Chains A and B, each alone.
Chain A
Amino acid sequence: SQQGEEDPQALSIQEGENATMNCSYKTSINNLQWYRQNSGRGLVHLILIRSNEREKHSGRLRVTLDTSKKSSSLLITASRAADTASYFCATDGGGNNRLAFGKGNQVVVIP
């Protein structure tokens, strides 16, 4: 079964606001990754958080991981129109060469 599952939201926000999206999963993981996909394009890796980490930052991105609740969140601060995209979480259970992707969260940033 698919492990990473985002809250299936289509988020529409004004430029400059923060965007938060969540991801839940069902089994134990080695790490959790977030990807971004612009319309009609391939996915681009954003950030990876390991199971022993609780929070990680990369530029305007902040990822949290709560392994007790089997959930993660991605926060984009001070959003820009160029952040308009779909965002996917993916879980790595380790040892099986596979990443399981969620259904994605569509974010629209209005200039």
Chain B
Amino acid sequence: SQTIHQWPATLVQPVGSPLSLECTVEGTSNPNLYWYRQAAGRGLQLLFYSVGIGQISSEVPQNLSASRPQDRQFILSSKKLLLSDSGFYLCAWRAFYTGELFFGEGSRLTVL
């Protein structure tokens, strides 16, 4: 069966510091992968999605970037965090035939 792992679960970082959130999927190959951000009490904002290694589509211009160095690995990064980057970050993969998303447990980022 497929599983998705996301880490770290919680992160507190100072403004201006770098960020790296990692997501890996097991049990499926060539998945579509997604990074969403959820602000407190808000819906989900799609940040990036990837249909294959090295293929990244950005939905929202910002100081975040994403990379997909391996088929089942998706990384969210920033060189210099802003206060507004605080939020709950969710990685997900999409089932090809049914179209549903399977989410990781999320990474809560607080930028101070």
| Chain B, range 24-58, C-beta contacts under 8 Å to A | 32, 36, 42-44, 46, 49, 51, 57
Q: Do B98 and A99 touch across chains, with their CB atoms under 8 A apart?
A: no
Contact of A42 among B98, B99, B105 (CB under 8 A): B105
- A67 is an interface residue with CB less than 8 A from chain B: no
**B108: chain A residues within 8 A (beta carbon):** 40
CA–CA, A25 and B106, complex, Å:
26
- A48 is an interface residue with CB less than 8 A from chain B: yes
- A45 is an interface residue with CB less than 8 A from chain B: yes
Sort chain A's interface into a size bin.
20 to 34
CA–CA, A44 and B102, complex, Å:
7
CA–CA, A23 and B108, complex, Å:
27
Q: Which residue of A lies closest to B44 (CB)?
A: A101
Contact of B103 among A2, A43, A103 (CB under 8 A): A43
**Given A42-B104, A45-B102, A48-B98: A97 and B51 within 8 A (CB)?**
yes
**Given A92-B99, A97-B51, A97-B94: A103 and B105 within 8 A (CB)?**
no
Q: Scan B69-102; emit 1 where CB is below 8 A from any A CB, else 0.
A: 0000000000000000000101010100011111
**Given A31-B99, A45-B100, A97-B94: A40 and B106 within 8 A (CB)?**
yes
**B42: chain A residues within 8 A (beta carbon):** 103-104
Least CB distance, B45 to chain A, in whole angstroms: 8
**A97: chain B residues within 8 A (beta carbon):** 32, 49, 51, 57, 94
Q: What 7 pairs across the A-B complex have the smallest Cβ distances?
A: A42-B103, A103-B43, A101-B44, A45-B100, A43-B103, A42-B105, A101-B43
Binding site for B on A (CB under 8 A): 2, 30-31, 33, 35, 40-45, 48, 88, 90, 92, 97-104
Besides A43-B103, A45-B101, 7 new A-B residue pairs in contact (Cβ under 8 A), listed by A number: A2-B43, A40-B106, A43-B44, A45-B100, A97-B51, A100-B46, A103-B42
Binding site for A on B (CB under 8 A): 6, 32, 36, 42-44, 46, 49, 51, 57, 59, 88, 90, 92, 94, 98-106, 108
